[in-house]
Amino acid sequence: MSEPAHDGRLRLLVLFGGVSAEHDVSCVTAAHVLAAADRTKYELIPVGITRDGTWIRNDKAIAALAEATPALPDSLEPEGTEVEPLVEIAGDGDRPTVVLPLLHGPHGEDGTVQGMLELAGVPYVGSGVLSSALCMDKAMAKIVAAQAGIPQCRWIEFRAGTGETAPLVERTIAELGLPVFVKPANLGSSVGISKAHDAAELAEAIELALRYDEVVVIEEAVTAREVEVAVLGNLVPEASVAGEIRPGSEFYDYADKYVNGAAALVIPADLPPAESDRVRELAATIFSTLRCSGMARVDFFYEEGGRGWLLNEVNTIPGFTPASMYPKLWEASGLSYPALIDRLVELASERHAIRSGFSVDH
């Protein structure tokens, strides 16, 4: 049974799971959000998307949280009553609804779900269709950032079907040298990413990345610190303090993020005040340049004594557990995890109100 409705509560539909390789990460994130959200303010509606794309209303999640069940990720596997997406999103019409998509990766973070929510006319947390799709596609984001004059490391884009792997390996070594990082263009959480130290590893890394996406991005490996900034807002974004990641392995991979917790998060990052101000300003500029809204985490390389700040990537639905960098950066900036959820809901409503006010007359 769902919780009884109370006057004045906003209906907050938490959307999680999904069909991408980041399904499990999304479920864990949803567990923490549902546990932290203020149920005196929100009627929480957990909706899971199974790996085959079925939408499930999962009220068991709320019951598990009320009992403080320790195995929250397991309890949030999408099990419950199958629902029609647009019907569930619309609700019964007697209270405002805001959707909080916690869908990492393709078919969630890439503008597809955002487009559906736009057609449904429902406010939702995070960036719109264009920005979501742009930031999800690492190759296109790099092209736009380069046009805007934003500094980045050197890179090569490769599309499946445009050539053989052997010439690409030769070109990469000639243009970027070794080692290099190889990434699927449209995926996150370090899934499918490899560091290649020689030609054989590079060929294997390209084949691995092509299992996840038809576009591959190959980047030079830079000797640099990894620094991230959380950005919050719509037209006038705010940047958090900067935080540094010190990987527990050769790079900040999936195991570092979600399995062994070996990476160290240093918040705030030990930076000269001028550099701290510079990276925060640059993060806000990138947020606006890529037309983000609501939230985004902007990741940088800091090449001390060299090129300085280099954009790595932008995540429009960043990791959102209390142990994730995005909420921790805001906590260090004076905004608690529950307050951050509240602010994101407010920003979603504000953005929807502004866009709904535009004329559609021809």
Which pLDDT belongs to residue 48?
92
Residue type (1 letter), 214: E
Which is catalytic among the residues 194, 240, 312, 315? 315
Identify the three-state secondary structure at position 4: coil
pLDDT tens readout for residues 119-161 = 999 999 999 999 999 999 999 999 999 999 999 999 999 999 8
Annotation marks residue 59 as catalytic = no
| Residue percentage of the chain with pLDDT more than 70 | 88
Which pLDDT belongs to residue 299?
98
- Exposed/middle/buried for residue 302 (C-beta within 10 Å: 0-12, 13-18, 19+): buried
- 8-state DSSP, 152: B
Which pLDDT belongs to residue 90?
83
Annotation marks residue 228 as catalytic = no
Q: What is the mean pLDDT of the chain?
A: 89
Q: Is the pLDDT of residue 74 over 60?
A: no
Which is catalytic among the residues 11, 57, 280, 297? 297
Which pLDDT belongs to residue 359?
58
Which is catalytic among the residues 319, 326, 331, 343? 319
Gap between the terminal Cα atoms of the chain = 47
Q: pLDDT band at 251, cuts 50/70/90?
A: low
Q: How far is CA 293 from CA 38, 238, 286, in A?
A: 23, 11, 11
Q: Angle formed by the axes of helices 129-136 and 138-147, to 10°?
A: 100
pLDDT tens readout for residues 20-31 = 878 888 998 998
Stretch 245-265: mean pLDDT, rounded?
Answer: 62
Q: What is the 3-state secondary structure (H, E, C) of 198-267?
A: CHHHHHHHHHHHHCCCCEEEEEECCCCEEEEEEEEECCCCEEEEEEEEECCCCCCCHHHHHCCCCCEEEC
Annotation marks residue 48 as catalytic = no
Identify the three-state secondary structure at position 8: coil
Which pLDDT belongs to residue 28?
87
What span, in angstroms and rounded, lies between the C-alpha atoms of 152 and 141?
11
What span, in angstroms and rounded, lies between the C-alpha atoms of 32 and 34?
5
More confident residue, 78 or 18: 18
Residue type (1 letter), 285: T
Which pLDDT belongs to residue 284?
98
Looking up tokens 């006057």 gives 7
Largest Cα separation within the chain, whole Å, is 65
Looking up tokens 């958090």 gives 240
Which pLDDT belongs to residue 1?
41
Stretch 79-90: mean pLDDT, rounded?
Answer: 87
pLDDT tens readout for residues 163-209 = 889 999 999 999 999 999 999 998 765 678 999 999 999 999 999 99
User: Which pair of structure tokens corresponds to residue 134?
Assistant: 């742009």
User: Which pair of structure tokens corresponds to residue 268?
Assistant: 């705030």
Annotation marks residue 254 as catalytic = no
Residue type (1 letter), 108: G
Q: pLDDT band at 79, cuts 50/70/90?
A: confident
Pairing mode, strands 10-17 and 42-49: parallel
Buried b (16+ CB within 10 A) or exposed e, 312-328: bbbbbbbbbbeebbbbb
Annotation marks residue 198 as catalytic = no
Which pLDDT belongs to residue 258?
47
Please count the helices (runs of H) and the strands (runs of E) in the chain: 13, 14
More confident residue, 65 or 283: 283
Which is catalytic among the residues 88, 299, 324, 326? 299
Q: pLDDT band at 5, cuts 50/70/90?
A: very low
pTM for the full model?
0.89
Looking up tokens 């619309």 gives 90
Annotation marks residue 319 as catalytic = yes
Which is catalytic among the residues 42, 258, 302, 326? 258
Annotation marks residue 297 as catalytic = yes
Range list of β-strands (E), the chain: 10-17, 42-49, 55-57, 81-82, 97-101, 155-159, 180-184, 194-196, 215-220, 225-233, 238-246, 264-266, 294-303, 308-315
Which pLDDT belongs to residue 92?
72
Which pLDDT belongs to residue 168?
96
Annotation marks residue 53 as catalytic = no
Which pLDDT belongs to residue 162?
84
Which pLDDT belongs to residue 64?
67
Buried b (16+ CB within 10 A) or exposed e, 188-227: bbbbbbbbbeeeebbbebbebbbebbebbbbbbbbebbbb
More confident residue, 298 or 254: 298
